[in-house]
Structure 1
């Protein structure tokens, strides 16, 4: 299980640190909560310990998995590039909600390829998903490699250019 000080990823929110465990009395029932601080957004969430398994909370990746992330950033699915007019917001939102960094990297790779293939850029939902995916990965890279936000964004941009 998790403990105070662990670096974790919460799907759709990104990476943060467990800063505390608190016990709250809710309607006469004592419940334990993980207090997680997300440094990129400066947000703190309280996550009920009893719901942690279903929530998708996971530990951050190891530094040796960054090569997989770099590969996922530079590889786009050909089917996405073929149909550039259709927004892929639902598929991308599903991938982002998984909390998996490789899924987020794949969203970035696919939407970056789609953006390059279109004369007028991405649809609004695609732009939002691209930004969310980048922020998701940036937040995790900041904890995995102690990158600044700019260094993490550079890592993403450098590997997307290889696509």
Structure 2
């Protein structure tokens, strides 16, 4: 097994993305014995230190744990936000499951697509409760990662995202279907 290489790719103090949980800071790497097996664990502090998670080094990659996105990926995500939304048809529960699946990948561009597709512009209040929840979760994730990568405040990152969403073309067909919904 390649445990040492995995350990070297993550360092204490590094900000990482843990899909489904958001951004966290690696506070250390510790050894622990579980059921007679000695494990090396990455210790992550999530949600500004409110939650601590331990991930076995051997499972770090398969869990989706990754380093922050490169600046080029952030630029790509911001470009996606200002693109044309893909109108989804079908049952809301299937679309919601698709959105949640894309968010749970933890990939910034996939989450940006969800934001773009759920964006209703100034009419965001007209979205259903579950749409708003998914939108807000995706927005929060995107704000935090962009702020961390660009080393700006979350307020500045939110403004960048809102500007991208405001620049997105709104088709009259989509606006009409939203009014009907």
Q: TM-score range by the shorter chain?
A: 0.7 to 0.9
Structure number with larger C-alpha Rg: 2
Aligned to 1:75: 83
Q: Which has the higher contact order (CA 8 A, sep 6+)?
A: 1
**SS of the counterpart of 2:12?**
coil
C-alpha RMSD of the superposition: 2.4
- Alpha-carbon distance change, 41 to 130 in structure 1, aligned in 2, over 3 angstroms: farther
d(CA) in 2 for partners of 1:133, 1:157 = 13
- Consecutive unaligned residues of structure 2, counting only runs of 5 or more, are 1-5, 169-181
How many residues are paired up?
159
**SS of the counterpart of 2:44?**
strand
- Alpha-carbon distance change, 70 to 120 in structure 1, aligned in 2, over 3 angstroms: closer
Residue 151 of structure 1, aligned match among 143, 150, 156: 156
Aligned to 1:142: 147
Structure-2-length-normalised TM-score = 0.77
Aligned to 1:121: 126
- Consecutive unaligned residues of structure 1, counting only runs of 5 or more, are none
- Per-residue displacement from partner, 1:77-132 (whole Å, max 9, x unpaired)? 3323xx498462111001001111001101101100xx359797212221111011
The Cα of 1:153 is off from its aligned counterpart by: 1.3
